[in-house]
Structures are given as structure tokens and as C-alpha cells.
């Protein structure tokens, strides 16, 4: 799924393209060395195990999806690149945008997993 979302940067509000596809979870694991599906499951159950939740998950997912949408060389993505990407945002911008970021990924997953009738 492709969508653009507006985020507050140090230069003002900008539109960021986001693309979720079949490679998103694989790229997430390659860059951050953790399972995206498990992270999303824990993230969606914040009230159950908050001490085990990766609160950076929306930002990390946004980095992967933004890089895919901008057709960057996905083999060059890194945690250092993620930190550089984060530096352009104001305060808790990515946390505030966790709903739209997660929705882009989850809508892609729902559409991919619906069976035929």
C-alpha cells in the first residue's frame, strides 16, 4: 500500500511517501534484527506488556516504508541511517504519527491475507 503522510520536521511540515509491501517485514529484520510481526503484536497490546514493547517501532517502520517509497537502495539501509533520518523530525512527531504509519502496514497485511470466497 502506498500513502503519503504529513510529518513535522525541523523545516516545517512535509509530506512523506510510505510504501508497505511483501518485503517490508524482511527489510525491517535486516536493518533492526528483530521480527516486525512480533513487534506489531506486542505494540498492539500495550496494556498487557508495556515493558517489552519497542516504542520506536512506528519510527523504524516509517523509515523502512519511506525508504521503499523513495526507491532508495534497500541494501544500504542501516541503524545509523535510521538515526540520521530521525534527526529531521521535531520531538515526538513519529510517536504522534504512529496510527497512520501502523495503518499503512497493517492494511497491506490485511489485504494480503484475505482468502477467496
pLDDT at site 92:
85
Q: Which long-range contacts (CB under 8 A, 24 or more apart) does 26-33 make?
A: 27/64, 27/67, 27/68, 27/74, 27/77, 28/60, 28/61, 28/64, 30/77, 31/60, 31/63, 31/64, 31/77, 31/78, 31/79, 31/82, 32/60, 32/79, 32/82
pLDDT at site 53:
61
Whole-prediction pTM value?
0.85
Average pLDDT per block of 10 residues along the chain, 117 residues long: 95 96 96 92 65 79 97 96 95 88 83 51
Amino acid at each position: 500500500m502506498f500513502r503519503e503522510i504529513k510529518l513535522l520536521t525541523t523545516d516545517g511540515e512535509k509530506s512523506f511517501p510510505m510504501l508497505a509491501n511483501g518485503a517490508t517485514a524482511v527489510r525491517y529484520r535486516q536493518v533492526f534484527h528483530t521480527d516486525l510481526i512480533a513487534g506489531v503484536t506486542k505494540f498492539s497490546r500495550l496494556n498487557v506488556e508495556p515493558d517489552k514493547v519497542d516504542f520506536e517501532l512506528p519510527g523504524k517502520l516509517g523509515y523502512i516504508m519511506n525508504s521503499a517509497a523513495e526507491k532508495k537502495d534497500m541494501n544500504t539501509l542501516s541503524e545509523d541511517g535510521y538515526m540520521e533520518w530521525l534527526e529531521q523530525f521535531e520531538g515526538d512527531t513519529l510517536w504522534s504519527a504512529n496510527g497512520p504509519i501502523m495503518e499503512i502496514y497493517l492494511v497491506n497485511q490485511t489485504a494480503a491475507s484475505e482468502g477467496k470466497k
